[in-house]
Amino acid sequence: MSRTSNPIADFRSDTVTRPSRAMYEAMAAAPLGDDVLGDDPTVLELQEYVADLLGKENGLFVPSGTMSNLIAIFLHVKPGEELLCEENSHILIYEQAGYAQINQVSVRSIPSERGVFDAARLKTMFRDDNLHFPQTKMLSLENTHNRGGGTVWPYNTLLDVCRTAKEARLTLHLDGARLMNAQAASGRTAKEIAAPFDTVSLCFSKGLGAPVGSILVGSRDHIRAGLRRRKVLGGGLRQVGVLAAAALFAMKHHTARLTEDHELAQWIATQLAEIGPEHLRLKYDTIDTNMVFCEITSERIVAVAKTAGTTPAGWFAGKLAEKGVLVLPTGPATIRIVTHRDVNMEDGRRLIDLAAVLATLNSR
Ligand SMILES: *Cc1c(COP(=O)(O)O)cnc(C)c1O
């Protein structure tokens, strides 16, 4: 663990991971060029490596997953056209409606169970050919699904939905920010999961532990057009091999260990459940990957938080933070706990011990 001297156990997100010494060494040793001029060898190596791993022709290294999704939407949907995505997807909720601001396209959202829906549901979204309607061009799925609780799409459902979308001539994009977590949890390779999609976005800066960066992969033509778009969005970077080296290191050394994060999340969920649903209740009854969502049900905490002028989740997170354990409030009474390579079992025990004391204090 790179974290041993850090007194803070940070469970807010897997984006908080810091580079390890070995990752810094890989960054320092990376050959560099000017990537806007197209000659940074480390960026080229990363793009080829990930494209190959995901079974696509080429890749485009970008500063963030938001930019990656924005470029994908640009490739598949013209101004005035429409894209379909799931109702709690990152594209819809957490990207400032960039699809509307930047791409000038509209979105229709698909209801789901934890981010997953079936082909029959998708079919209810299809429009007739009618001049009153926008034309639907693209379907975006998210795997693993963030707000759904780190959900992995069941593979046959995924294939079925993608086949149905293809039959309706929709282009398919995968927001695979945590695609490698889906691989680790499902026994399906990232290549198999990516196979039905025209473009796939993957983040290096989540559980993979690189400090910065995402990639968009797809056909050579898509990536050529995406390269132009990246430039106008301000995403053309120069000696960015220094960051691509961190991403390459993460892909090669940090994917297999994601199962450890999943095991720790599972353990935390089991322990939280034992505290009792009258105090804390798991929002979802299964934990697929590295996320645990927990609702604060304790009547005492609800009352104390109200007196303090905050939400139960805000109060609970504040109390944990006083003891050096960070979690993320994601609703008035909901907190999110995410595991990653900079927290370990010891941190998990700290979290559970504190949560048990806080949740049950004065409750009898
Ligand atoms: C984190 C994330 C992104 C991209 O976020 P950035 O902060 O822009 O890198 C996209 N989709 C999902 C599902 C994510 O979790």
pLDDT digits (tens, 9 = 90+) for 93-109: 999 999 999 999 999 99
Q: Residue 287 above 80 pLDDT?
A: yes
Alpha helix stretches (DSSP H) within 125-257: 155-167, 179-186, 190-194, 220-232, 241-253
For ligand 1, atom 6, the nearest C-alpha belongs to 65
Q: Separation of 80 CA from ligand 1 center, angstroms?
A: 25
**Secondary structure (3-state) at 75:** helix
Q: Separation of 290 CA from ligand 1 center, angstroms?
A: 15
How does pLDDT run across 132-182, given as a tens digit for each residue? 999 999 999 999 999 999 999 999 999 999 999 999 999 999 999 999 999
Q: How far apart are CA 75 and CA 198, in angstroms?
A: 10
Bridge partners of 86, per DSSP, are: 110
Q: Separation of 212 CA from ligand 1 center, angstroms?
A: 11
Parallel, antiparallel, or unpaired for β 328-331 and 334-338?
antiparallel
pTM: 0.96
- Do 40 and 33 form a contact (C-beta atoms < 8 A)? yes
Q: Separation of 166 CA from ligand 1 center, angstroms?
A: 25
- Do 342 and 17 form a contact (C-beta atoms < 8 A)? yes
Q: Separation of 38 CA from ligand 1 center, angstroms?
A: 26
Q: Residue 5 above 60 pLDDT?
A: no
**Atom number of ligand 1 nearest to Cα 175:** 11
For ligand 1, atom 14, the nearest C-alpha belongs to 177
**Residue with the two structure tokens 């977590």:** 181
How does pLDDT run across 52-79, given as a tens digit for each residue? 999 999 999 999 999 999 999 999 999 9
Q: How far apart are CA 307 and CA 321, in angstroms?
A: 19
For ligand 1, atom 4, the nearest C-alpha belongs to 65
How does pLDDT run across 147-157, given as a tens digit for each residue? 999 999 999 99
**Atom number of ligand 1 nearest to Cα 67:** 8
pLDDT category, 1, cuts 50, 70, 90?
very low
**Atom number of ligand 1 nearest to Cα 89:** 13
Q: Separation of 58 CA from ligand 1 center, angstroms?
A: 21
CB-based burial, 228-255: b 16+ in 10 Å, e otherwise: ebbeebebbbeebbbbbbbbbbbbeebb
Q: Separation of 181 CA from ligand 1 center, angstroms?
A: 14
Q: Separation of 65 CA from ligand 1 center, angstroms?
A: 5
Q: Over pLDDT 70: what percentage of the chain?
A: 98
How does pLDDT run across 204-239, given as a tens digit for each residue? 999 999 999 999 999 999 999 999 999 999 999 999
- Altogether, the residues listed in the chain come to a count of 364
Q: Separation of 12 CA from ligand 1 center, angstroms?
A: 14
Q: How far apart are CA 123 and CA 126, in angstroms?
A: 5
**Mutation choice for ligand 1 from 175, 289, 330, CB with most ligand atoms inside 8 A:** 175
- Would you tell me the crossing angle of helices 65-76 and 220-232 to the nearest 10 degrees? 120
Q: How far apart are CA 67 and CA 61, in angstroms?
A: 10
- Ligand 1 site residues, Cβ closer than 6 angstroms: 64-66, 90, 142, 146, 175, 177, 203, 206, 214
Parallel, antiparallel, or unpaired for β 334-338 and 291-296?
antiparallel
For ligand 1, atom 3, the nearest C-alpha belongs to 65
**pLDDT of res. 62:** 98
Q: Residue 309 above 50 pLDDT?
A: yes
The one-letter amino acid code at 161 reads: V
**Mutation choice for ligand 1 from 12, 17, 61, 90, CB with most ligand atoms inside 8 A:** 90
